[in-house]
Chains A and B, each alone.
Chain A
């Protein structure tokens, strides 16, 4: 029996949180794994000399926090997303300021749309990251294609 994404989830915003502390070790690991060359990712002294409070995250680093946040939707059986049929369609990062080690980020998940298209379904989510004072830090938008039969 095939499940299909439930359009009733569109426009749903989940409760914010939990707070995530950005790790210097994870930034360095991510930079090495993708080949991001700047010492600002790995050397705290270089980062401080450039005016940052900690090592700087590469542009796509927030994907991990975003995907962990999206899980509360895509792994909800009621959402009807068969993950064995999911293909990553699009990804987008908007950085309002540099993300650095030690940042405490509050993620908020919104399901922007659930649409049928040619036998497939396209699900777009957005994870907004704010600091603990509520100031916007970044947004990560992801579109998944759920293949039909």
Chain B
């Protein structure tokens, strides 16, 4: 499956992963509506994420996306690829670049999820995510841990049938 486009939901054979496999390649659009919806969902009402005057007063170029919105959005391609979201048992990132979001129009977040390492003894895979806007990385060392099935069928293979 290396470098193949995003597989349909839940069809990746997690028992046959190899380092370098691209599990998901997705694009996500962010606009002001996205930011307002995330503010409500998360309870993060910092006005730099919806008010240009406040954002500029804080020395920013304008309203920026919540880093946690970028983080939460960036993993959704991987979640779709593996089907069962509970297979992700850890997820971490550094926030390396701001994502300014204009008052009208949208920005595009481009994400690639690649198998970075497999720990057969632990039964896990490390998936490395890159997330870019206009070619600039906005997340650094973004990594998710995937729990792998112990057998080729998987403990809950019916979900991926």
Answer yes or no: are A and B bound together in one complex: yes
Which positions 57-116 of chain A face chain B at CB distance < 8 Å? 58-60, 63-64, 67-68, 84, 87-96, 98
Q: When each residue 2-29 of chain B gets 1 if its CB lies under 8 Å from chain A and 0 otherwise, what string results?
A: 0000000100000000000000000010
Q: Which residues of chain A have C-beta atoms less than 8 A from B42's C-beta?
A: 30, 33, 63-64
Q: When each residue 56-81 of chain B gets 1 if its CB lies under 8 Å from chain A and 0 otherwise, what string results?
A: 00100000000111011101100110
Q: Which residues of chain B have C-beta atoms less than 8 A from A63's C-beta?
A: 42, 68, 72
Q: Which one of A52, A56, A59, A87 lies within 8 Å of B144 (CB-CB)?
A: A59
Q: Does A126 contact B (CB under 8 A)?
A: no
**A34→B42 CA distance, assembly (Å):** 10
**A87→B98 CA distance, assembly (Å):** 10
Q: Does B40 contact A (CB under 8 A)?
A: yes
Contact indicator B95/A59 (Cβ below 8 Å): no
Count, chain B residues at interface, CB 8 A: 36
Q: Which residues of chain A have C-beta atoms less than 8 A from B95's C-beta?
A: 87-91
* Interface stretch (choices A2-10, A13-21, A37-45, A128-136): A37-45
Contact indicator B76/A93 (Cβ below 8 Å): no
Q: Which residues of chain A have C-beta atoms less than 8 A from B80's C-beta?
A: 37-38
Q: List 15 A-B contacts (CB under 8 A).
A: A35-B28, A36-B85, A37-B9, A37-B79, A50-B159, A51-B156, A52-B86, A56-B85, A58-B79, A59-B85, A60-B71, A64-B42, A90-B94, A92-B93, A93-B90
